[in-house]
Structure 1
């Protein structure tokens, strides 16, 4: 369940101010129904507030107050009850006063404050917050189920809900960035939708480039910009390098043959024994099925050394495109040609032989092809 916790904890948080002096104070003034008097309400911090994970105060006379210092804006959530299934709402914290008011559940609270607070609430109330609640409800149903066939079958719905959440969140955030380039919230959400291990230059840069210079010049803007530039593949913009290798049926196949007969070719380095590679395969299958009739194809280069396991993985993962391998493991000549030091790794080549993108992971591959083959 670690992935579930990670998705929920990382969901829907944002930060306000561009830059603040060390030790600037914040205060959260809360008004709730007096029936909650005596109960504790928690302020749970997201990972960027590393010094502290949580504060809690007791509700008295239908009110609560949190105070603290903030070096840089950070995301948080207010919660009553169980941290995962209890009543809660996301918010962000920066210098100044934040007001939270509700006569009912926290999830229906009205949150007001400075300009950036209002900006985030616009995004959250526009549908982003309800997406998170939908995921939480599905997760809670899953957790409450007894072990057995029904719970196993429900796992599929759970994964579908996560995929829908991720896809819809990207759309909300991307549209918000387009409409609010001057908002720090746009930058913050962009950094959250592209964590370091999944940061992709080709898909993130167009949105980063839309941000105002003031936002880019903020400490977070500069940090993200540097990471973004570092993620840009050194192969991007270069001509591809041809190679010849062996197909599963023993024939010789060159990359040149594939590139010359398609608009875009994904050269995908993987192996049957590579767990992360196998997790990426469904995304490649989805993209292949969607764009194969529009000039997109895939040439998968395996770093396997066992033909039986290689062929079995191709069949199990349903990969109906071109495959080659010398069955030399990490000594695969094609991998050496492209200086592959870790897998999965891929590069996208256009019909002119130019590398137009590298390391398109997850939904980034589909989104890139959707842009290129409108």
Structure 2
């Protein structure tokens, strides 16, 4: 009951302050284990980061002051330290406490949105830990060969997974959590969402167009529109394994699986074995695969092709320029293209891909 009352009061307090988006902010920070150096405040863009300001670290302390007209997420980068710390610029005094070598896990308090962000991430980590412990217990239960223990461990794992998903969904969908939710979607989920999902998300943030996280989600949505299901596939012109230029359009008239991958990507290599079996089965019926590698090392790319014995056409996107055009930020990523060059499916793997190809080619 106390926890419920606390959450109600907490949310009500946030409602009052969220109406006051404009004003002065002051960031008072302390970093343990770092007596001097520099802190840089940056904001993410589609091209990289914009630098908003710097602060010298003196005896472990640093400070930023300014004015904001809209609640905005920013990141603090510390000299020679890995990672960064996310916080929100909003009116009021913001306290930052970080430790050298663990910047990402720093604590930000003092203003409503920063408190919400800290609460959300704390609960996410706690629930993920519970889920992981239940998963480990589930694995160990099989060693006992006791059906009751396996059943109980299975239920505990299922309940833990559900609890984490329910918490995330309820929190992100709360009307007073929009700034935190936008930041989380931008930093953790945006790259995994397809055009339709991104479009729906952008629409839910009507009135927040000046928020940088929403702006980035909108830009990602616009990029993904061009490679969404139903869109005509953009042309690709890249060097093949012999260094000769190859155009995707030369495969028009066939069903094509456009496969973005890399030699260092274990899931890519595993899925490649499955695709190879499908390729052998359906190539004679008009199925082709075009592998687009984002490897920076051409030798590693060629070695992987030789080891995996994938006999379809391969091209190298060494600077990931084509990958960016297709919104590919991680691999594997595949696009299924019909004979007219229209995208009919995205990210089909394993049995889903097998089922889709069977439906296509059984009708031919």
**TM-score, normalised by the number of residues in structure 1:** 0.45
**TM-score, normalised by the number of residues in structure 2:** 0.46
